[in-house]
Amino acid sequence: MNKINNEFLESSIFISWYEKNMRKLPWRETEEPYFVWISEIMLQQTRVIQGMEYYQRFVKRFPKVEVLAAASEAEVLKYWQGLGYYSRARHLHEAAKDIMIRFGGHFPQKYEDILSLKGVGGYTAAAIVSIAWNRPYPVVDGNVFRVLGRLFAVDTPVDTTEGKKRYAELAHRIMDPAQAGRHNQAVMEFGALQCTPQNPACSRCPLMHQCAGYAGGDPQRFPVKRRKVKTRERYFHFLYIIYNNVYVYLHRRDENDIWRGLFELPVIETAYPADFAELKNLPEFKKLFLSDSHAVFTPDRNSVRHVLTHQVLYVTFCKVEIRTESEALKAYLKIPLHTLDDYPVPILIHRYLESVRK
C-alpha cells in the first residue's frame, strides 16, 4: 500500500464522496441532539429504509425530550412496535426521564454525560457530540468496522478487546477534527452504500489505491471475526382466545427475555415442534379450556419462523372462541376486544391479528 502523506487524506476523500452520494434522510436535516439521538438509537439493528417511517412517526408524537419523558412506557412501545429490539425503546424512555431529572430537560452536551444515559454506548455518544457540536469523537459501528478493516487489512478480530482498541486507534487517526460530524456521517454512509458487506464496488471506489484489502485481492474477508454465537431454537404456540365475542386475553411480558414490556396472547412454549393435535393434549392447554365443552378451535395452518439475533422462534397460532371462562384464564388480563389495538404487541402477533380480524 502506498504511504499516505496527506495527514487527513482519507477523511477528505470520504467527505468528498459523501457530498456527492449521501442519501436525503430526515435526521440529516437537523443538528438538534435530541433528533440525532433518536435516529441513532432507532437505526441500531434496523435498516435505514425500514427505520425512516418509524422515525418520522416517532418524532411527530414525541417531538421533545419532555414529551417522551411524560409518555407511558406502553405508548412508547406502541410507537416502536414492529422495529424489534424493544429494549432500545425502553432505554430511550428511561433516558428521557433521566434528562428531565439530572439535566433539567436540556440534552447534555458533554460526551461523558451522554454516555451515562441508559442505552447509550460509545458509538452513539460519539455520533451525537460530533454531529450536533462537531466534537472530534469518531464513531465505530458495523459499517465503520468494515471500511477500516478493509482499508487497513486489519487481521485482529473485531470482536476482541485488542481488535476494538485497534479499530478505535485507526478511526482517530483518519478523522479530521475540524470536520468531525461530517467525517463520521461520511464513513458510515460509505460503508452502507459503497463498501458493502457483499460485492463492494471496489472498481469505483475513490480509496481503491489506498485500500490494503483490495490490494490483497480479498477485501470481503475483512473485518475478521472470532466468535460464533450459538442460536437457540424455541417453539411458541399463541392462543387468540375470544370470550363471548366481547373480551380477549393478554399477558404482559415482564421477565428479562424477549419482548419485555410488550403484551402477548396466552402462549404455550414447547421444547419441540408440536402440531395442534399434540398441543391440545398438553396439561397446560387442557387447563385453559377444561370447563368449556363448547369451545371452538381454529388453528392457523401457517407456522411462522421468526429470526432474532440469537434465537429462532417457530410460532403457531390458534383462534379459540369460548363461552365459559376457566380459572386458569382469570390469571390473564381480560380486555374488551375493541381496545386490542391500544396494546403494544410483537410484530408477528400484530400481523396475525390483522389477518384474522379483516
Residues belonging to the active site: 40
| Cβ-proximal residues to 196 (8 Å cutoff; 6+ apart), any chain | none
Three-state DSSP at 139 gives coil
| Cβ-proximal residues to 27 (8 Å cutoff; 6+ apart), any chain | 35, 36, 38, 39, 55
Contact 114, 34 (CB under 8 A): no
Q: Which amino acid is at 219?
A: P
Contact 346, 78 (CB under 8 A): no
| Cβ-proximal residues to 178 (8 Å cutoff; 6+ apart), any chain | 134
User: Which element (helix H / strand E) includes 236?
Assistant: strand 232-243
Q: Could you give the CA distance from residue 65 to residue 287 in angstroms, rounded to a whole number?
A: 46
DSSP state of 5: -
